[in-house]
Structure 1
C-alpha cells in the first residue's frame, strides 16, 4: 500500500505500477518457484518469496485504483480546510478507498491459498504437500484421498479467510460509504 500511496497521484508512475502488477500476475507461480529454487534451494525461502510476491500484486493494484478514484474535489476540500497532504491521505483518501483496497486484499488472500499449495513443490510447508504426495503416488493406495485432503483443506481455509476479511471490512468501512 505504501507503493500505491507514493505513485497514485502521478499518471505515469501509477501506469507503470499497474503494468508491472499485470505482468507479474501473468507469471505462472509454478515457474516462479522453479526459478527461485536455483538461488535459494528447496525449502521455505523460495515458497515465502513467491507467496509474498503474488500476494502484493492485487493489493497494490487495487490500492492505486481506489486512491486514484477519489474525487479531486474531495481532496481539494480537505486541503482547503487546512489538512496537510499526509492527514488528507490518512483521514480522507484511505478511508474512502478502503473498500476497493480490501477487495484487493480478499483477491490476494484467495490467490495466495492456491499459490501456497503449489509452493509445496519447493518443499515449503502447507497443505500442498498432501496434493503433491498424492499426485506422486497416482494410482497407488490412498493417493486420491491425499489429494482430496489437500484440495478440500485449501478450499476450507480460503473460505474461512474470506469470511474473516468480510467481517473486517464490515467493521472497518466507514458507515457512510458502506455498500
Structure 2
C-alpha cells in the first residue's frame, strides 16, 4: 500500500494547470508596467522641463494624485462588488427572475450615457446636499462599474447545470447551501471576468474625477491640456495606462486564486 502511495504522481501545481495563453497574460502586464514606470522615471529625471512643467510633474504631486486615483478605484470597485453580486443573485431567484432583463437593460442604458456628463450632473445636483467631489466621483464610478459584474453574475448563475442544483437539493442541502456550495463556485469564473472588466472601466473613468475636484491622475492630463504642455499630458496618460494595466493584472490574479480547482 505504501509502495503504491509512493509511486503516485505528484499533483499538478496551479501554475501548470493554467493554459499557456493565460500564463502569458499573467507575466506580460507586470513587465509592461515596470517598463512604462522605468521609462517615465528616466525621462522625468533627464528631461529639460520649464518651470510650469516641473511644477505639474513634481514627484510629490504625482504621488498624491496617484494615491487619490487608487483610492477612487478601490472604493468604487468594492462598492460595485458589494452591490452587483448580491443584486445579480437576487435576480436569479424565484419571481425576481422576470426582472433580470429589465434591470440589465436599464444598466445598459445608464452605461451608454457619457461619463463626463453624468459626473457633472451628479456633482451639480449632490453638491447642494454636501457631497464632495470625491463622493460624487465614487458614485459615478460605481454606477459605471455595476453593469459588467451584474450581467456576468446573472449569466454565470443561469449557466449552472440545473441537474447539479437538483442533486444538491436531493441530498438535503438548503437553498442557501446550494447557492454557496454549488452555484457560486461554478459561476465564479464568469463573475470574476466581469469584476476584471469593471476594474479596468473604473480606472479609466476615474481620470475624469478631476473635473469635479475628485482628485486622481486626470489632474495631470487636464493641466497638460489647459496649459498646452504636450509632455505633461502624455505623462499623465502613461501613468493612467500603467495603473490600468496593473489593476487588470490584479484582477486576473484574483480570478486565478479564487477559481475552484478543476474548473
Q: TM (normalized to structure 2)?
A: 0.63
Alignment of 1:40 onto 2:126: yes
Q: CA deviation at 1:47?
A: 0.9
Contact 2:200 2:244 in 1 (8 A): yes
Query: Aligned with 1:175: secondary structure?
Result: coil
Counterpart residue number, 1:62: 152
Q: CA RMSD in A?
A: 1.3
Alignment of 1:7 onto 2:91: yes
Counterpart residue number, 2:102: 16
Residue among 165, 169, 183 paired with 1:93:
183
Alignment of 1:158 onto 2:158: no
Please give the per-residue CA displacement for 1:69-119, whole angstroms capped at 9, x wherever unaligned. Answer: 111111111111111111111111111001110010011011011110012
Counterpart residue number, 1:83: 173
Gaps of 5+ in 2: 1-84
Contact 1:21 1:61 in 2 (8 A): no
The structure having more radius of gyration, on CA atoms, is 2
Query: Aligned with 1:176: secondary structure?
Result: coil
CA distance in 2: counterparts of 1:173 and 1:74, whole angstroms: 18
Please give the per-residue CA displacement for 1:36-70, whole angstroms capped at 9, x wherever unaligned. Answer: 12123362121111011112221111111111111
The count of residues paired between Structure 1 and Structure 2 equals: 173
Residue among 129, 135, 151 paired with 2:225:
135
CA distance in 1: counterparts of 2:178 and 2:111, whole angstroms: 31
CA distance in 2: counterparts of 1:169 and 1:132, whole angstroms: 34
Counterpart residue number, 2:208: 118
Residue among 51, 56, 68 paired with 2:141:
51
Q: CA deviation at 1:11?
A: 3.6
Gaps of 5+ in 1: none
Q: TM (normalized to structure 1)?
A: 0.91
Q: CA deviation at 1:16?
A: 1.5
CA distance in 1: counterparts of 2:136 and 2:191, whole angstroms: 27
